[in-house]
Amino acid sequence: MGLAEEYFDDGSSFLAIDPLSINPESLVDFSLFERHVRKNEQDRFRCLLVDSQAIPWERLLKLLSSWEVVYIHKKQNFNYTQYVKQNLEFILNHENIDVKKKTGTLINIATEVIQDSFAANFVSPHECDRAIENIEKLVSQAMDFISGIDSLKGIADLIGHDYQTHTHSIKVGWLTATFINANPDLFEVETGAPLGEDQLRDLMVQATVAGFLHDIGKIKIPRNVINKKGKLNNLEYALIQSHTAYSTSILFESKLPRSSMQTILYHHENEDGSGYPCGLSGEQIPLIAKICHIADVFDAITSKRSYKAARSPFAALKIMAGDNPHLATLRKFEAEVRENTKIPVAAIVRDDYEAKLRRLREREILEEEAKKRVVARTRLRDQGMSHCFDTDLLRRFILTINRSENFDLSGLL
């Protein structure tokens, strides 16, 4: 792109990258620079490598190993991003690249792919299949990394961050892949024999793709509801619950396997039948949908929202595993949302106001009561959620992430 061999810049025009992320077998189409820090505001950026094809492979490998950090000019950021997409598997499986750097690379690329998928809006079967193919390609490249216990360090680094739909979807798919890989005995075939290596990998890819797409239906929910800076009222809560059905309708003509579609549709069904959209319970709920549900709730509780602080993994799982002493009342409040019933209270204002003002005040009283019930519902739910999950699966989930040194959940076991 006509870059100079030397720049004097405050650093805003350059991006730092790990030289180990450069695959010598995949020739790069961007220039690499080194940075010399100066006393004034302008540092010197000198080109280290313009044309990798002009250097023998062994020499290039030695150079990349000797550099601690290199820079690319932002004018070539698109080229570098395309390179990373094509070499993601190389980067994620490189044993000398720090997990934190791998996580950052994965999140950046995966967010872009998912955002493109959401933006496509799946308006045609062609667009739908293209978006799914991009996600499947990404997941396949990342699978060896995200399905390993060591990768949970990356998840731990993301705990407590602000809730973003795209990042949330990535983490749900990631946790699902790690869980399945750590618990393959759950997926023994009817003969009692374990799945073959290829079968298990295909299952993890399908489940992870479903995790990445489980909230795609939220593109149909009004933005003011999705981005609301506070607790949802009953109507808004009901609108949010419709996203599972929207997701299925959007993906209906896609090539996704039935198991993935079921996961997307049923990932909010509760073990006791109190979930949505179909009120399924127990064995009626597909296994991967149950796993996705656990990962989904875990990440939601450990994420920061505008109306609540993030909970620690220990606190989140304590809520998820706890028995709710107010379950009957909670179910009553949840039923009010599902059935769209009026608040079962009356507001009667007896005073000298004229009829119009009296009706207005009575409506205000009912709205105030409705807001109180929303707050009460949220507090009651946080008293315990064990009725929502399969006990054995939740126990296995806790055991799985506890295997990472970045999580200490021994007090829950």
pLDDT tens per residue across all 413 residues of the chain: 578 889 999 999 999 999 989 887 776 778 889 999 987 789 999 998 777 666 777 787 788 888 889 999 999 998 899 999 999 999 999 999 999 999 999 999 999 998 888 776 666 777 788 888 999 999 999 999 999 999 999 999 998 888 888 899 999 999 999 999 999 999 987 557 788 899 999 999 999 999 999 999 998 888 888 888 877 777 788 888 899 999 998 888 888 999 999 999 999 999 999 888 998 999 999 999 999 999 999 999 999 887 788 999 999 999 999 988 887 887 877 777 666 656 555 555 556 666 667 667 666 666 676 677 677 777 777 888 999 999 999 999 999 999 998 988 877 76
Token output for 20: 């180990």
Q: Which residues contact 245 (CB under 8 A, 6 or more apart)?
A: 217, 265, 277
The C-alpha atoms of residue 313 and residue 23 are separated, in whole angstroms, by 36
Tokens 């932002």 sit on residue: 74
pTM for the model stands at 0.85
- 132 C-beta neighbours (distance < 10 Å), count: 20
CATH of 87-323+384-412, one of 3.30.450.40, 1.10.3210.10, 2.102.10.10, 3.40.470.10: 1.10.3210.10
What Å distances lie between residue 101 and 18, 71, 80, CA to CA? Answer: 8, 15, 15
* Contacts of the segment 136-141: beta carbons below 8 A, 24+ positions apart: 136/205, 136/209, 138/85, 138/88, 138/109, 138/110, 138/113, 139/173, 139/177, 139/205, 139/208, 139/209, 139/212, 140/205, 141/88, 141/89, 141/92
Query: Residue 206: enclosing H or E segment and its boundaries?
Result: helix 197-213
Give pLDDT, residue 384: 86
What Å distances lie between residue 66 and 27, 61, 73, 101, CA to CA? Answer: 18, 9, 20, 18
Give pLDDT, residue 344: 56
Tokens 């395309």 sit on residue: 82
Residues of the chain with CATH 1.10.3210.10: 87-323+384-412
CB 138 within 8 A of CB 86: no
User: Amino acid letter at 232?
Assistant: L
The C-alpha atoms of residue 91 and residue 50 are separated, in whole angstroms, by 21
Phi then psi for 158, rounded to 5 degrees? -95, -10
At residue 70, the 3 state secondary structure works out as strand
DSSP, res 403: T
The C-alpha atoms of residue 223 and residue 236 are separated, in whole angstroms, by 11
